A and B are shown apart, each in its own frame.
Chain A
């Protein structure tokens, strides 16, 4: 049996999780033991845990037989947090919770799988975390638009065969009021951006390399011919105006967006994940991104009014 050690003292970036799984060759008949060590002083974020769930489930679906072992149980608070975001539950790892589960509204969502049937519920839950007075309403409106676009991209472009709704993924969000920060991740283990952008029969971008394709995915109007090419572009613009951070990792290409944009070679991720870190105390204007005729704020306010009526 092969062994993969996930020691969070050695995980410094999201790409490090991909690297751990690149270090071992897995086939459908492989049997592996994954050991987890959540020790160390660093805080563990749910977006890292989600990536683990996403890639482990990917290998399980390919027929790899996986067993788990929890090596370090010293830090109970950390393990309780890991359990509270449903990391253990997603992987069917037994963990005895001896705390009360308070409602997550306004703070975080658990790690959730989504597909065409339940994506809208996850999106609503993620947006409910953000309904705080600390975040300016225009930024909320833009985020509302961008978050759905990234989720819908996963549904429409990560699956095989260029068929809408064929894709699936995982998503979660966490709000850190003390640091005035929101962390979001949407992940899939599908066909990847390069495939989705260059292989579609109507694509104008068939000659792009993987790095070029990932870089192009945040340019306005870049699409494989199906959508309008606004989703990732608008998200990148939001991040830049907000002085936040965004990563798009697909295949071997990793795009970093902050005050500068950088594309680098990275360990292979089988599909695509997008992470955002937003500052809740830096307002963003929707018109700066979408122009004077934007409908983003108006439609968001209508949506909120409708939600208020329904509740």
Chain B
């Protein structure tokens, strides 16, 4: 079963690492649920994300999940405005692992 996390329900401004951590803990709970096949992070309506928030939300997952698992189980939706930040943070975390 695919699950969805609508980030707008937390705030339209997602800036702090604390916000990122709080949502990542919920995300991890879903990813670790055997009944959940994948999770969609939906950025619809989110006005601002910071590098710190994205690093805390998804950057840190890169250290715990291999890329195949992560690509299969985590999807992003409505990220047009935030694509550059998400890509930059994830690439940076991959670089550090390499």
Contacts and interface: CB of A to CB of B under 8 A. Distances in A.
Contacts of B9: none
A295 B16 contact: no
Interface string A116-159: 10011001000000000000000000000100110010011000
A310 B47 contact: yes
Interface stretch (A13-21, A103-111, A277-285, A299-307): A299-307
B6 interface: no
A238 to B, nearest CB: 15
Contact of A227 (B48, B55, B84): B55
A294 B88 CA distance: 7
B40 interface: no
Of A155, A156, A302, A310, most B-chain CB atoms within 10 Å: A302
Task: Name the prevailing secondary structure of the A interface residues.
Answer: helix
A116 B17 contact: no
A226 B52 CA distance: 10
A228 B48 CA distance: 20
A119 B52 CA distance: 14
A164 B18 contact: yes
A230 interface: yes
Given A164-B17, A164-B21, A302-B82, A228 B59 contact: yes
Of A119, A294, A298, most B-chain CB atoms within 10 Å: A298
Contacts of A270: none
A248 B21 CA distance: 27
Given A120-B15, A302-B81, 6 more contacts: A145-B51, A152-B15, A156-B16, A165-B16, A228-B59, A295-B84
28 contacts: A119-B15, A120-B13, A123-B15, A145-B50, A148-B50, A148-B52, A152-B15, A152-B16, A152-B50, A152-B52, A155-B16, A155-B17, A164-B16, A164-B17, A164-B56, A165-B16, A228-B51, A228-B92, A231-B52, A293-B88, A295-B88, A299-B51, A299-B85, A303-B47, A303-B48, A306-B47, A306-B81, A310-B47
5 tightest Cβ-Cβ pairs between the two chains A and B? A295-B84, A165-B18, A295-B88, A164-B18, A298-B84
